[in-house]
Each structure stands twice: as C-alpha cells, then as structure tokens.
Chain A
Amino acid sequence: MTLPTATESKDVILEVCNLSKYYPVNQSFFSGKKALLHAVDNVSFQVNRGEVLGLVGESGCGKTTTGRLIVRLATPTSGRILIENTDVADIKGQGMMEFRQKVQMIFQDPYESLDPRMTIFDIVAEPLNVNGIGTFEEREAQVEEMLNLVGLAPPSAFLFRFPHELSGGQRQRVAIARALVVRPSFVVADEPTSMLDVSIRTGIMKLMAQLREDLGISYLYITHDLAVARYLCDRIAVMYLGQIVELGDSEDIVKKPVHPYTKALISAVPVPDPAIERPIPNIKGGVSKPIDPKPRCRFYDRCPESESSCAEAKNPELRDIGGGHLVACHLL
C-alpha cells in the first residue's frame, strides 16, 4: 500500500508554544520533601491540516502528558495550545461541546479507557449521542460500518459484548472506532495499534490515511514503533526527558538521524530475523530522572558523544540544520 501524503498547504491546525507541565511529587518517602517532576518542559511544535505528526521517544519522556494537555485533560503549568487559532484554555460552555467532538484522543491503555459497564455498541455510539448526530438508525449503521472498518467483523458478533469479553487488540480497535466515528478534525492517537498484528495494523493505517485524505483529519501519532511512524507520518518529533530533541521529515529521521539519542533509538529497532545479532544500542546506562533536572542538556548523562563543554553549557535549543530538520545538540 502507498499511503497518501498531506497536500501541500501551510494551514496550521495545532500550534503548541512553550508548553510545560510540572508535577509536584514526593522526593523521598521519609523526608516528605516536595520536588518538581518535569513531565513536559518547554515544548513547541505545529501540526498542519491533514498532516500526521509522529511523536516518539523514551518511555516516560512526556508523550502522553503532551497529548492530555492538547485535549484539555490536564492544564499546563505554562505555555499555550492553539487549535484552529483558538487558545484551548479559553474554551468554555457550548464551545467545549464542539471541542469535545472536534478533538479526540485514543488512549494508550485499552484496559483502562473503556467503560466496563457499557456494551461495545454503547461505547462507540456514545460520542454520536452526546453530540446529537443522526437518528438512532443512522447511528446504528455508522457504528456497524466503523466496526467493520477496524476489522471487528461481523459487527453482530461484537455489538453486545462488554470490553472484558474482548482481546487486547480488539479493545484497541473499539477505542479507535469510538474516536473516529464522529469525524473529528484532530486526533491524538496514543499508541493506538501497539497490540495489533501487522495485517490488522496495516488495515487501520490505511483507514486513518483514508480519513485524512477524505476529511482532512490531522493526527498527533504517539508510537514506539518507528517502522509504523515511517510509513504513516509525514514528520516525526523525537522526545527525551520532556523535550523535543529532533524533528524532521519521517524519512530523514529514520534514515539520517542526527541527534545522538535518535541514532541510538534507530539502531535499537529489532529485525525479524533470528540469525541477526543486533549490537547493543550506543547509549550510556543509567536511568533518566525527570525530577528537578539540571539546566544542561537533558541527554548529557547518557550521551555517548558528549564533550566536556556540554556539561557546562545551557540546555541546547532546537536549531534548523536545513530543510526544516530541527536538532537540539551543541555538537552541531
């Protein structure tokens, strides 16, 4: 399959400016001292209409938090989020209803996010009901069509089951169906296909690409699967400890990564051949600590290429190294 690409337009649908989210946490159980966990730390990016922006990065680096801030499930510590030029912080009342239809989130965990007391039909139909879309018959038809599209066929075998009567990947597909059934204009998709086998996943990728072609839906696509990001996303942003360290065209990120973290990440992608021994990824050991980080480059402690000057210097900013390929590293 060849996924259609975004039409050349600079119509910005989402603009994120200097976004930060800090959580107060207990530093130590015994002292009870509070410290700040920098989940998202001064992040800026844009998504164009009809574009798929991939968000990849270390587990715990702030991807889900970024998504939750965008759909207003969390409030930023600082920074702004504009969707279609409206600051989401200003949305109230009737506007909120509209926002809830226009902007959807597919949650990372399909075991937590589906209401256990609702049938699959009710779960997928709920956003249609809430927004008063269509007659009952029309909704029924739309739900069935959506279930077919995500490969839950025949729909009659699933409509009246409860989430606990489905497999992990089937729940994920219910979550996708629910988000897409209202034809939103922007979707934050948080690891939406992480439990799906390649054939079904390809089907879902085609569906998402088709909807973007037909309806101009844009996506922020959070994933750990770089091969999926390569195929589905126009651009990829790479995060490390709350910050974007590299952002560029998907093919550039995958084929010509520049930041030392991105390079390590690409080298760690497993290959489907038991005969190949992949080398250990080139990154220093240790764990990343987002609590009260030092004001220098966040990757310094684990960077295999760091120079002594990096220890002294301030946190590097994203710089364009040509053709809109942004990198945050002092060595460039």
Chain B
Amino acid sequence: MDTLLRLEDLTMHYKTKAGWVQAIDGVSFSLDKGQSLGLVGESGCGKTSIAMSIMRLLPYNAQLVKGRILFGGRNLYALSDEEVRQLRWKEVAMIFQAAMNSLNPVYSVGNQIIEAIVTHEPETGEDEARERVESLFELVGIPKERMDHYPHEYSGGMKQRAVIAMALACNPSLIIADEPTTALDVIVQDKILREIEDIRRKINMSMIYISHDVSVIAEVSDVVGVMYAGKLLELGPADDVFKRPKNPYTYSLMHAYPSILGEKHDLVTIPGEPPNLLDPPTGCRFHPRCDWATKECGETAPLWREITEGHYLACHNPIRTKQGKSCKQQKTAKGGDVIDTSDGN
C-alpha cells in the first residue's frame, strides 16, 4: 500500500516558565492512503501536539528537537510557508479540538465555509460553493436555513458540526479529527461518523481520529495507537490491540470503561500520580504506575519494535496471552488491574 504520512522519531518540547515540557518523545508511525488511525491516551499525553506538528501549526514556544514528518514523501518542515498553506485544507484538513472557537464570530457560519472553498479552489464559483455547503450541512445535520446564522447563535455541538463540515469541504487526502465528537449526542455522533467513513471509502481518504473515547476509536479505526506521557507505547491493527493488548497501559485503558451494558461495576482509576512532563520518569515513562514493572523498566526505556506484522510495541514485559483468547481481569494490592496469563487462560 501507498504510504501517505510518516513520522520518524518525532520529538517536540514546549518552553514554559517552569522548564521544558517534553510533549512528544521519539514518536514513529506511518499511515497508508485510505487508512484510519485512532490515537488514544490520557489527557495531556501529547495527542494534540502530534496533530499540530503535522499541520505545522505549532505555537511560538514549541521546539522541534529531532525527527521529521513526511507527507506524500515530502519533508513537511523543509517546505516554504507558502507551500504549506497550499497543503493545508486542500490536502490535510483538521477538525480542531478547540472547534468551538475556530469559527470567526463576525461572519455567518455558512459564509465562512463558502469562503474556505472559494479560496482553496479558485475554479469553484460562489453558487456552486453554496450548494456544496448546503449538502455538507445536511450531512452534519444542521438545517440549511441556519447557514446564515452567526457562531454565537449555535449550540456547542452545532459549532463542532460546522467545523466538521468545513474540514470535509475541499475533499482533502487526510483529515485529522481531534476529539471531533465531544459535544455531540450519540445519535448525531453515530450518523456523522458513518458519513465520514463512507466518504473515506469513496475517495480513499485517510483519517487520524484522536479521542479519549475508546469506544469511538473501536468503531472507526483500522489501526490504533496508544500514547502515554509523550511516547507511543503500542500501535497495531484495531482488533489486535483491543482483544490482545500487549502493553500493560493499553490493557488498563481498554478495561476501565464504565458501560451502560450489564450490571454496574466498580470503576477503577489507574493508580498513582499522573506523569510530570517537565521531569518525566526515567526508563519506561509508565513504570511508576505499572503493575508489571521490573527493575529494568525504571532504568532503560523499552525500544519501539515491530512484534508481529504491523503491530509495534515498547515494553520490557509484554503481556502474553494464548492466541485467540482474551485476558482475564484481576485486582492487585495496588488497586490496579493485572491480567491472568496462566496458560489455561
């Protein structure tokens, strides 16, 4: 398959009064044309930072320490500002986590999207652009009469849907959707995710979905990547990662979920302190909170390696389960989850 996007050893830090925030550390992965990648991980682990690096929209206090990003074979950080401007929206579009304030308050919502289309596709006339926006509004479930209203007249979820419509407007080859459905009810979310998936298949578009909601990621991703404290810990085919997680952090993320199904059960948090990115733990960044940690984990960082085809992992003590069986859950003294790996499992 054709590779569309490739991150190689990407490392990016932010300068603050209290020191350098090590937000991305040695992240590598690649994304094929037409593929969808789901990126999950704790709040503050660096998901948006990766997205902004790919968009080349990093703030003034960010510093690219090492690594590179290739888009369609071209090094993004070797392009001129003008070349990047042409890529943005037309080739790579983003649904910002700050959806709600990425709309301009002084223009009607419809006009902003029309404007975006006309700017990036000079050959498209205003009327044609308006028609396209009408059908995009239908797709995201906003009545077209409301195109001429201003952002402050929209609810939170309506603004988010308008931004989704904007990202789809120019048929880009990659959309990065950063928490695209946080303000949407599950019926609207269901409809929009199905529509985006349809479009993705039709025009062979690639997607990166960023979400804290593991269920959403399970429904839309071919490949899932799990981040913790600026590092990728695991990345592989969605089925594999959900059913047979290899990294202990992945495991706890997949199993702590409250559900509307079944009996109410006790909700567990991952015990221990959240990592401080100004001074991240040595060795594996997850080791202070990991039930599987051994002495080695505190000393050396585990290498990022491919364990089976397309399944990458960084961990000194990967979870072993028998092929085809999923893991069993137990409680440890620390209050976290461990997995029964006995062979009879």
Partners in one complex: yes
B221 cross-chain contacts in A, Cβ below 8 A:
274
Given contacts A272-B257, A287-B143, 12 further A-B contacts (CB under 8 A): A64-B155, A169-B44, A173-B43, A191-B182, A197-B253, A198-B212, A198-B258, A199-B252, A224-B182, A224-B183, A226-B260, A275-B239
Asked if B293 is at the interface (CB within 8 A of a chain A CB), the reply is no
Interface residue? A210 (CB, 8 A):
no
Determine whether A310 belongs to the interface, using a CB cutoff of 8 Å to chain B: no
Q: How far is the CA of A283 from the CA of B141 in the complex (A)?
A: 13
**A164–B61 Cα gap in the complex (Å)?**
11
Which of A25-33, A92-100, A131-139, A322-330 sits within the interface?
A: A25-33
Considering the complex of A and B, which 8 residue pairs feature the smallest CB-CB distances, nearest first? Answer: A169-B43, A59-B157, A270-B215, A29-B148, A111-B98, A268-B186, A194-B182, A197-B212
* Residue A165, interface by CB 8 Å: yes
Q: Contact: A265 with B276, CB < 8 Å? A: no
Segment among A43-51, A77-85, A227-235 that sits at the interface with chain B: A227-235
A-B contacts, 21 listed (Cβ < 8 Å): A1-B268, A59-B155, A59-B183, A157-B277, A161-B16, A161-B18, A165-B21, A167-B48, A168-B97, A172-B43, A191-B183, A194-B182, A194-B183, A198-B214, A199-B252, A200-B42, A203-B269, A271-B259, A274-B218, A281-B190, A287-B138
Min Cβ gap B26→A in Å is: 19
A197 partner residues in chain B, CB cutoff 8 A: 40-43, 212, 253
A195 near B157 with CB under 8 A, answer: no
CB distance from B203 to the nearest CB of A (A): 22
A164–B189 Cα distance when bound, in Å, is 27
Cross-interface CB contact of A153 among B142, B269, B273, cutoff 8 Å: B273
Within 8 Å by CB of B258, from A2, A58, A161, A227, lies A227
Contact of B253 among A198, A227, A251, A291 (CB under 8 A): A198
Residues on B with beta carbons closer than 8 Å to the beta carbon of A271 = 215, 218, 259, 261
Say yes or no: is B198 at the interface (Cβ < 8 Å to chain A).
no
| B239 CB contacts on chain A under 8 angstroms | 274-275
Given A59-B157, A108-B183, A160-B17, are A153 and B44 neighbors across the interface (CB < 8 Å)?
A: no
Q: Are the C-beta atoms of A272 and B190 separated by less than 8 Å? A: no
Cβ of B123 under 8 Å from chain A: no
Rounded to whole angstroms, the CA-CA distance of A200 and B186 in the bound complex is 21
Q: How far is the CB of B96 from chain A (nearest CB, A)?
A: 9
**A56-B185, A57-B185 known; A274-B97 Cβ under 8 A:** no
A60 CA to B162 CA, complexed, in Å? 13
B267 x A205 contact (CB < 8 A): yes
A287 to B145, CA, bound (A): 11
Q: How far is the CA of A28 from the CA of B141 in the complex (A)?
A: 18
A197–B42 Cα gap in the complex (Å)? 5
Closest chain B residue to A62, Cβ basis: B155
Docked-complex contact A270 and B161, CB < 8 angstroms: no
Pairwise interchain contact B18-A224, C-beta atoms closer than 8 A = no
Asked if A25 and B274 sit within 8 Å, CB to CB, the answer is no
Nearest Cβ on chain A to B143's Cβ, whole angstroms: 5
Q: For the complex, is B184 an interface residue (Cβ under 8 Å from A)?
A: yes
Known: A165-B14, A287-B143. A265 touches B186 (CB 8 A): yes
- For the complex, is A112 an interface residue (Cβ under 8 Å from B)? yes
Complex interface: chain A residues within 8 A of B277 (CB): 157
Which residues of A are at the interface with B, using a C-beta cutoff of 8 A?
A: 1-2, 23, 25-29, 37, 56-60, 64, 108-109, 111-112, 151, 153-154, 156-157, 160-161, 164-170, 172-173, 191, 194-203, 205-206, 224, 226-228, 230-231, 251, 254, 264-266, 268-275, 278, 280-281, 283, 287, 289, 291
Q: Are B44 and A272 in contact, with the CB atoms below 8 A?
A: no
**Min CB gap B25→A, angstroms:** 16
Say yes or no: B43 contacts A224, CB within 8 Å.
Answer: no
Of B101, B185, B256, the most chain A CB neighbours within 10 A belong to B185
Which residues in chain B, 251-285, are within 8 Å of chain A measured between CB atoms?
252-254, 256-261, 264, 266-270, 273-274, 276-278
The answer on a CB contact under 8 Å between B18 and A291 is no
Q: With A157-B276, A167-B44, A200-B274 known to touch, is A224 a contact of B185 (CB < 8 Å)?
A: yes
Give the residues in chain B near A194, CB-CB below 8 Å: 179, 182-183
From B48, B161, B186, B277, residue with most partner A Cβ within 10 Å: B186
Complex CA–CA separation, A196 to B214 (angstroms): 11
Inter-chain CA distance A291–B153, complex, in Å, is 12
* Minimum C-beta distance from B238 to chain A (A): 5
Give A173 to B43 CA distance when docked, in angstroms.
10
Contacts of A191 in B (CB 8 A): 156, 182-183
Q: With A59-B158, A157-B18, A270-B219 as given contacts, are A1 and B183 in contact (CB-CB < 8 Å)?
A: no
Contacts of B129 in A (CB 8 A): none
Complex interface: chain A residues within 8 A of B12 (CB)? none
B197-246 at interface with A (beta carbon < 8 Å): 212-216, 218-219, 221, 238-239, 242-243
Q: Is the beta-carbon distance between A227 and B266 smaller than 8 angstroms?
A: no
Complex formed: what's the CA distance from A2 to B141 in Å?
Answer: 38
Bound complex: CA A220 to CA B228 (Å):
33
